[in-house]
């Protein structure tokens, strides 16, 4: 494996040598097209506070910090949902969870999730129609293999990785998918741990960029890191954190019929493993950026980096220790800010001002219209999104959402509506007679400690009306609204 990375403990800078197999590490191939390439990096369960540029003080993320220093950092960017599948569906369709077709993590046997309909208009289809080649490397989760929701039916020319979110829990799987075909990882036969899937996926992603360097491309790098299980190869990144923290070993599933079928494996050092996984993700970002420069693509590529939802507490993870949610309340599966507000960085040399910071409220469903405006392609006829390209380019013509909407179908059902700084959260929505509502003023209470619903019935009434008009029921994800 050519992927060689290490940190120096004195400088905490990642050193990335030339990659074996790249002819002439300093040579470049200038791309002839004028349409910008798009690299959209989607971390898995990375919290708002897990990066140095967002306040993290323990875990080292020098390359992502550099990306933020050279680009724009968003402080109010929101995921599509608080778990994977609906969040990714919202991203791909430009629709929030009151309208997007996939609204929950519905599992299918033997592997895969509920499929998006084949006629769903996605970012992939939009860009394909505009002359782009499209790729996705990492986790899919929007349709089991062979279904109408599989990547090849949703606007993805080349897919490599995990089709199924459940199997993506394990980092040494027996196989991955390359388009419609199984790609066996022979180094992981039996109990072997010879091929760390994330390294394999990352290698294939770099190959995609090299192979398409002379044509416009869009690639989604949907890395699994740092989602549980908390497992790393025995390399210099893991060694950097080993023994640093007080640890409580996590006992998972290391054998038996469920081994590598979803349950998380054991780790004696869950904190060290989590930190190493975030730094490994940072290393991948560093290699992608170096690849762009080596190929002469760095001046004509926009890079976006974000996360699919807030931090998790699974597999031994301890978001409290790392303050993974930053100044926010909540984690994955919450509609409090910590569950849905995510880091977001955009980098585009010569177009996005270096070191820019924006508090413009934006969400996953804004990405489709943003990329449509950027590339001259056509967004869906109906979208919940608003292009934030004016914000990226530093213009004063940015339109703003009247409000933002989320729904979540687990833990009794939850809905959130945010209008300006007011945010209402309905709990136990599935049982309308037990539903309660909370109200927070984010301008004064970013941690959502003080429920002021009783003091502001007029605000609750206004947000309740917005909530009721914000969704269309779908057969596969029914939801009862609270009784008035």
pLDDT digit string (tens) for 32-55?
557 999 999 999 999 999 999 999
End-to-end CA distance of the chain: 60
Cα dihedral across residues 260, 264, 270, 271: positive or negative:
positive
479: confidence class by pLDDT, cuts 50, 70, 90: confident
Same domain, 178 and 45: yes
Number of domain units in the chain: 2
CATH number, position 410: 3.30.1120.10
Shared-domain flag, residues 429 and 442: yes
Segment 303-331 shows an average pLDDT of 98
Q: What is the mean pLDDT of residues 72-93?
A: 98
DSSP code at position 415: E
% of the chain at pLDDT higher than 90: 91
Any domain includes 480? no
Go through 44-77 and write b for each residue having 16 or more CB atoms within 10 A of its CB, e for each that does not.
Answer: bbbbbbbbbbbebebbbbbbbbbbbebbbbbebb
- pLDDT of residue 91 exceeding 90, the answer is yes
User: Rounded mean pLDDT of the chain?
Assistant: 93
| Whole-angstrom distance, CA of residue 11 vs CA of residue 361 | 35
- Given this model, what pLDDT does residue 13 score? 36
User: Is there a single domain that holds both residue 397 and residue 425?
Assistant: no
pLDDT tier at 484, thresholds 50, 70, 90: confident
- The pLDDT of 232-249, averaged and rounded, is 97
Over residues 167-181, the mean pLDDT reads: 98
Same domain, 327 and 440: no
Q: Give the model's confidence band at 18: pLDDT under 50 very low, under 70 low, under 90 confident, else very high.
A: very low
Is 484 part of a structural domain of the chain?
Answer: no
| 347 and 361 both lie in a single domain | yes
| CA atoms of 111 and 139, how far apart (whole Å) | 13
Q: Where are the beta strands (DSSP E) in 29-184?
A: 37-43, 72-78, 133-139, 158-162, 175-178, 181-184
Any idea what the CATH number is for the domain that residue 172 is in?
3.40.720.10
The answer to whether residue 225 is domain-embedded is yes
Same domain, 307 and 416: no
* pLDDT given at position 90: 98
The first and second tokens of residue 366, run together, are 């804004």
Q: State the pLDDT at residue 3.
A: 38
Query: 479 in a domain, yes or no?
Result: no
Q: Are residues 75 and 185 in the same domain?
A: yes
Percent of the chain at pLDDT > 70 equals: 93
pLDDT band (50, 70, 90) for residue 481: confident
Burial class (CB in 10 A: 0-12, 13-18, 19+), 350: exposed
Confidence of residue 291 (pLDDT cuts 50, 70, 90): very high
Q: Is residue 481 part of a domain?
A: no
Based on the domain organization, do 52 and 109 belong to the same domain? yes
72-78 and 341-347 as β-strands: parallel, antiparallel, unpaired? antiparallel
Q: How confident is the model over 140-167, as a mean pLDDT?
A: 98
Distance CA(267)–CA(282), nearest Å, equals 21
Which pair of structure tokens corresponds to residue 92?
Answer: 């791909």
Report whether pLDDT(192) > 60: yes
Of 401, 422, 450, the domain-final residue: 401
**3-state SS string for 158-214:** EEEEECCCCHHHCCCCCEEEECCEEEECHHHCCCCCCCCHHHHHHHHHHHHHHHCCC
Within a domain: residue 325? yes
* pTM for the full predicted model: 0.94
- C-alpha closest to that of 439 among 409, 411, 459: 459
Mean per-residue pLDDT, 325-348: 98
pLDDT band, residue 95 (cuts 50/70/90): very high
The last residue of one of the domains, among 372, 401, 430, is 401
* pLDDT given at position 10: 32
Tokens matching residue 144:
């089991």
| Maximum Cα–Cα distance across the chain | 67
362, 425: one domain: no
**Which H or E run includes 305?**
strand 301-307
Whole-number Å distance between alpha carbons of 125 and 129: 6
Q: Does any domain span residue 473?
A: no
How high is the pLDDT of residue 341?
A: 98
Q: Could you read off the pLDDT of 98-130 as tens digits, one per residue? A: 999 999 999 999 999 999 999 999 999 999 999
Q: Give the pLDDT score at 5.
A: 41
E strands in 216-300: 217-222
* Per-residue model confidence (pLDDT) at position 364: 99
Residue 137 CA neighbour count, 13 Å, CB half = 23
Query: What integer pLDDT is reported at residue 33 of this predicted model?
Result: 57
pLDDT at 23 over 50: no
Output the pLDDT for position 480: 79
Residues 223 and 194 in one domain: yes
**Residue 16's pLDDT band (boundaries 50, 70, 90)?**
very low
Residues 357 and 440 in one domain: no
Whole-Å CA distances, 27 to 284, 295, 343, 407, 438: 21, 7, 33, 49, 57
Short-list 44, 10, 72, CA closest to 280 = 44
pLDDT, one tens digit per residue, over 393-449 is 999 999 999 999 999 999 999 999 999 999 999 999 999 889 999 999 999 999 999
Sign of the C-alpha dihedral, residues 276, 279, 281, 284? negative
Q: What angle do CA 427, 432, 436 make, to 5 degrees?
A: 35
Instruction: Report if residue 329 sits inside a domain.
Output: yes
Which of 373, 401, 429 delimits the end of a domain?
A: 401
**Residue-number span of the structural domain to which 44 is assigned:** 6-17+29-401
Query: DSSP secondary structure string, 333-377?
Result: T--SHHHHEEEEEEE-TTTSPTTEEE---EEGGGHHHHHHHHHT-
Residues 264 and 216 grouped into a single domain: yes
Provide CB contacts within 8 A for 40, sequence distance 6+: 218, 219, 220, 221, 303, 304, 306, 367
Answer for the pair 128, 134: CB distance below 8 angstroms, yes or no: yes
Closest CA to 83 of 100, 104, 108, 99: 104
């Amino acid at each position: 494996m050519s992927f060689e990375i290490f940190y120096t403990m004195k400088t905490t800078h990642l050193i990335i040598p030339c990659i074996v197999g790249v002819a002439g590490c300093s040579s470049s191939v200038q791309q002839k097209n004028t349409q910008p390439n798009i690299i959209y990096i989607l971390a898995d369960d990375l919290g708002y506070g897990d990066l140095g540029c967002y306040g993290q003080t323990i875990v080292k993320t020098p390359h992502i910090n550099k990306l933020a220093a050279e680009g724009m950092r968003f402080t109010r960017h929101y995921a599509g949902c608080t778990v994977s599948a609906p969040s990714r569906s919202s991203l791909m369709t430009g629709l929030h969870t009151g309208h997007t077709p996939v609204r929950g993590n519905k599992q299918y046997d033997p592997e895969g999730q509920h499929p998006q309909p084949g006629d769903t208009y996605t970012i992939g289809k939009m860009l394909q129609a505009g002359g782009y080649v499209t790729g996705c490397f990492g986790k899919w989760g929007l349709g089991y293999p062979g279904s109408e929701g599989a990547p090849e039916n949703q606007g993805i020319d080349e897919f490599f990785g995990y089709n199924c979110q459940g199997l993506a829990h394990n980092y040494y799987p027996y196989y991955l998918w390359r388009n419609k075909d199984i790609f066996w990882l022979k180094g992981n036969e039996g109990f072997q741990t010879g091929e760390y899937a994330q390294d394999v996926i990352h290698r294939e992603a770099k190959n995609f960029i090299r192979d398409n360097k002379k044509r416009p491309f869009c690639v989604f790098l949907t890395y699994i890191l740092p989602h549980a299980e908390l497992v790393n190869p025995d390399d210099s990144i893991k060694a950097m954190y080993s023994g640093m923290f007080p640890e409580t070993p996590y006992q998972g599933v290391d054998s038996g019929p469920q081994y590598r079928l979803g349950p998380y494996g054991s780790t004696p050092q869950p904190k060290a493993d989590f930190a190493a996984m975030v730094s490994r993700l940072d290393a991948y970002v560093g290699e992608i950026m170096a690849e762009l420069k080596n190929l002469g693509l760095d001046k004509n590529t926009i890079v976006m980096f974000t996360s699919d939802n807030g931090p998790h507490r699974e597999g031994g993870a301890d978001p409290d220790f790392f303050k993974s949610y930053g100044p926010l309340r909540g984690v994955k599966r919450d509609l409090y800010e910590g569950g849905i507000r995510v880091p977001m960085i955009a980098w585009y040399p010569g177009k996005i001002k270096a070191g820019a910071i924006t508090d413009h409220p934006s969400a996953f469903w804004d990405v489709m219209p943003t990329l449509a405006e950027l590339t001259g392609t056509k967004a869906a006829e109906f979208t919940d999104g608003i292009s934030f390209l004016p914000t990226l380019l530093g213009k004063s013509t940015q339109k703003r959402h009247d409000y933002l909407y989320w729904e979540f179908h687990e833990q009794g059902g939850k809905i959130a509506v945010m209008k300006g700084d007011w945010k209402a959260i309905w709990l136990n929505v599935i049982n309308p007679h037990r539903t309660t509502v909370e109200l927070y003023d984010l301008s004064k209470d970013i941690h959502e400690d003080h429920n002021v619903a009783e003091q502001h019935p007029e605000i609750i009434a206004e947000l309740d009306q917005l909530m009721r008009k914000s969704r269309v029921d779908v057969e596969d994800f029914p939801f009862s609204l609270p009784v008035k």
